[in-house]
Structure 1
């Protein structure tokens, strides 16, 4: 993974919104994703120090930043403010000014897809803390766990219906046989 993390041919973006196991499972199920680091992200100028999130390394020639943001918005409660938003901040974490501006533009353009106001914030990345190895790759290491079936599988079904062309069907078949 270190080679991927330092490669200039891949872009990197951070996403937070719900449980990092769910977010990790969503992005690991897409084409063009080279790596997903699951853990916590801190943002410059944000009150909460760390919030559950993932770093996503992706090939922009296969999947665009706009598509990743659209998938993120539709697979977590991007319009809901709730008592756990400190731990589960709805956010797009950017790594430079150009990416920050692109993410804000994309976020604004996608508002029309939702009846309620999107609360997702575009925030500058500050720090990342990786989760313990035994808690990463949660979906694909144990897809039949009750948590996966209850919380992650419904989000994967959104991918299959709304974003079918971005799904890595071979990989997704490992956790949802016959795409049930």
Structure 2
């Protein structure tokens, strides 16, 4: 992580989907899948999936704000998941799949709050946004097999049915922001 890097911590469904998108964004230095916002230390995937730990599946994104602003990260975040479904993204149901922004600074909180207000006013979705905006608690990296999951398992069923379409939508909508197009 460079000295001018910033960190964003976001939850919007399965972390495999978010990781696959954000690792392709210009300015992103690293993406780590993990857990945030729960009641126990060092949660396991099983504990998070059981819904007892209270954690959300999140990605922690290290990025260069000179190449990609925090607002741009959030605009992509809102474009690739449904911020109106409480504790759910598609067929993934449970509090671990909630829509949440964990802000690291007061400036991040202000940027996120302003953008959420703008998007809510724009009426982009049929229902109201349920995205939580909270100070970042301790982040726990997920087990190694979750890291770069889509890149390592593109033929896996969930990746084909859920991750690939989100990635295709991102690539189409944000083509000019892809690392591959630079």
Q: Name the structure 2 match of 1:89.
A: 98
Task: Return the offset for 1:116.
Answer: 2.4
Cα distance in 1 for partners of 2:173, 2:103 equals: 25
Task: Return the offset for 1:78.
Answer: 1.2
Contact residue 87 and residue 97 of structure 2 kept, 8 A = no
Contact residue 175 and residue 181 of structure 2 kept, 8 A = no
The answer to whether the aligner puts 1:33 opposite 2:48 as a matched pair is: no
- Which of 51, 54, 66 is equivalent to 2:71? 66
Task: Return the offset for 1:85.
Answer: 4.2
Question: Where does structure 1 lack aligned partners over 5 or more consecutive residues?
Answer: 172-180
Q: How does 1:121-140 map to 2 (within 5 A)?
A: 121-140=132-151
Contact residue 35 and residue 56 of structure 2 kept, 8 A = yes
CA RMSD of aligned residues (A): 2.2
Cα distance in 2 for partners of 1:164, 1:155 equals: 13
TM-score (norm 1): 0.82
TM-score (norm 2): 0.81
Per the alignment, in what secondary structure is the counterpart of residue 75 of structure 2? helix
Task: Return the offset for 1:29.
Answer: 1.7
Q: How does 1:1-180 map to 2 (within 5 A)?
A: 4=1, 7-42=2-37, 49-82=54-87, 84-111=93-120, 112=122, 113-169=124-180
Cα distance in 2 for partners of 1:118, 1:19 equals: 18
Task: Return the offset for 1:114.
Answer: 2.9
Task: Return the offset for 1:141.
Answer: 1.3
Q: Name the structure 2 match of 1:177.
A: none
Count of aligned pairs between the two proteins? 164
Residues 65-111 of structure 1: CA deviation (Å, up to 9, x unaligned): 12111111121121112463411120111111121111111221222
Per the alignment, in what secondary structure is the counterpart of residue 96 of structure 2? coil
